[in-house]
Amino acid sequence: MPTRTARTAWTGGLQDGSGQVELASSGVGKFDVSFPKRTADAADGTTSPEELIAAAHSSCYAMALSGQIGNAGGTVRSLDVNADVTLGPDPAGGFHISNIKLTVRGRVDGLDAAGFQAAAEGAKVGCPISKALAGVGTIELDAALES
* Predicted confidence (pLDDT) per residue in 99-137, tens digit: 999 999 999 999 999 999 999 999 999 999 999 998 887
Contact predicate 15/36, CB 8 Å? yes
- Pick from 110, 100, 106: nearest CA to 133: 100
Q: Where are the domains of the chain?
A: 7-39, 49-145
For 146, half-sphere exposure in the C-beta direction (CA atoms, 13 angstrom radius) is 11
**pTM of the complete model:** 0.92
Top CATH class, 49-145: alpha beta
Q: Rounded to a whole number, what is the distance in angstroms from the first to the last CA of the chain?
A: 37
Give the pLDDT confidence of 63-101 residue by residue, as tens digits.
Answer: 999 999 999 999 999 999 999 999 999 999 999 999 999
Coil/strand/helix, residue 87: strand
